[in-house]
């Protein structure tokens, strides 16, 4: 095992490093975590800190109802990852900003859970998603979920080979009443490709805080749904909505990917119908 926990004394985080937010700050390291490392093994590994798996795909297959947190050690993980079917799985970078999830043939991450009757949540934290030309960054579908899907993104960057490829692709095929919601909280994080969202439910929702959406966003579907941006940079003329979609902007600006220093402020507005 090549990595050691910095700032640890007798198993206690000393407060210098905060790897998963407040829940890991000055606290005992939880035991029910699956670790993945570029020096690990999917054959002889068991997912423990000292004996991690090699791939995120393997870790996804090993989550259980009582072990839902996957931690990625620094490195680039090139694999088309299908998210585990279980609710509330969280994938975190051990050190934020040091992990890249790269697509291989179709997508970097695909979220399309098996049948579920209640709200279903997936969380990705502190990583970069990189999708190759023609691939999708994060794909979300609700084909067999009979209620709501929540996609939670915290300090996640999405890099694209081609600006028009879909960084986030909500490609629905489930029931019209079953919502898909995206909540993205960042600190100047960038989404290079297009955010493309097909809406079918008035309960659908898209919220971005502190992001640069330099690839723009397209909402398809004449449904009254919420799209909200707070302290965001958005591609100039990069927003497209269906009739009835409702958007809000607070503290936002328009910019171009080529020169982010050239920007114009966006007037604050709330619940603007399109």
- Tell me: the pLDDT tens digits for 202-222? 999 999 999 999 999 999 999
pTM of the entire predicted model: 0.87
- Overall average pLDDT of the 78-106 stretch: 96
Q: For 125-181, how does the pLDDT look when each residue is reduced to its tens digit (9 = 90+)? A: 999 999 999 999 999 998 888 788 999 999 999 999 998 999 999 988 877 778 999
Instruction: For residue 59, report the phi and psi dihedrals to the nearest 5 degrees.
Output: -60, -40
The domain tally of the chain equals 2
Assess whether pLDDT exceeds 50 at residue 189.
yes
- Which residues are paired to 161 by β-bridges? none
Q: Identify the H or E element spanning 218.
A: strand 217-220
Give the tokens for residue 225: 């749904």
Q: Among residues 182, 170, 164, 129, which one has the least CA distance to residue 257?
A: 164
Q: Which residues contact 236 (CB under 8 A, 6 or more apart)?
A: 254, 255, 256, 264
Last residue of a domain, one of 56, 72, 88: 72
| Range of the structural domain that residue 56 is part of | 1-72
Q: Same structural domain for residues 100 and 185?
A: yes
pLDDT band of 124, cuts 50, 70, 90: very high
Mark whether 68 and 78 lie in a shared domain.
Answer: no
What mean pLDDT comes out for the span 94-101? 97
Same-domain pairing of 3 and 41: yes
Q: Same structural domain for residues 55 and 94?
A: no
pLDDT tens per residue across span 248-261: 999 999 987 666 66
What is the domain-level CATH number for residue 64?
3.30.1910
List 224's β-bridge partners, or say none: none
122 lies in the same domain as 180: yes
């Amino acid at each position: 095992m090549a990595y050691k926990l910095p700032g640890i004394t007798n198993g206690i985080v000393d407060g210098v490093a905060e790897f998963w937010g407040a829940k890991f700050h000055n606290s005992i390291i939880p035991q029910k975590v699956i670790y993945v490392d570029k020096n690990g093994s999917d054959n002889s590994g068991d997912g423990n800190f000292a004996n991690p798996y090699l791939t995120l795909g393997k870790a996804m297959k090993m989550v259980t109802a009582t072990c839902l947190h996957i931690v990625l050690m620094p490195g680039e993980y090139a694999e088309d990852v299908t998210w585990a079917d279980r609710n509330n799985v969280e994938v975190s970078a051990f050190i934020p900003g040091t992990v890249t999830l790269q697509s291989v043939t179709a997508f970097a991450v695909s979220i399309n859970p098996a049948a579920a009757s209640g709200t279903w949540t997936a969380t990705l934290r502190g990583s970069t998603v990189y999708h190759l030309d023609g691939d999708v960054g994060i794909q979300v579908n609700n084909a067999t979920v009979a209620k709501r899907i929540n996609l939670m993104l915290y300090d996640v960057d999405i890099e694209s080979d081609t600006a028009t490829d879909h960084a986030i692709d909500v490609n629905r095929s489930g029931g019209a009443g079953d919502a898909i919601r995206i909540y993205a909280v960042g600190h100047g994080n960038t989404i290079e490709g297009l955010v493309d969202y097909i809406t079918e439910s008035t309960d659908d929702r898209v919220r971005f805080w502190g992001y640069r959406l330099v690839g723009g966003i397209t909402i398809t579907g004449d449904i009254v749904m919420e799209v909200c941006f707070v302290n965001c940079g958005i591609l100039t003329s990069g927003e497209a909505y269906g009739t009835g979609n409702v958007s809000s902007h607070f503290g936002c600006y328009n910019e171009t990917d080529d020169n982010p220093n050239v920007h114009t402020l966006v007037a604050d507005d709330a619940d603007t119908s399109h």
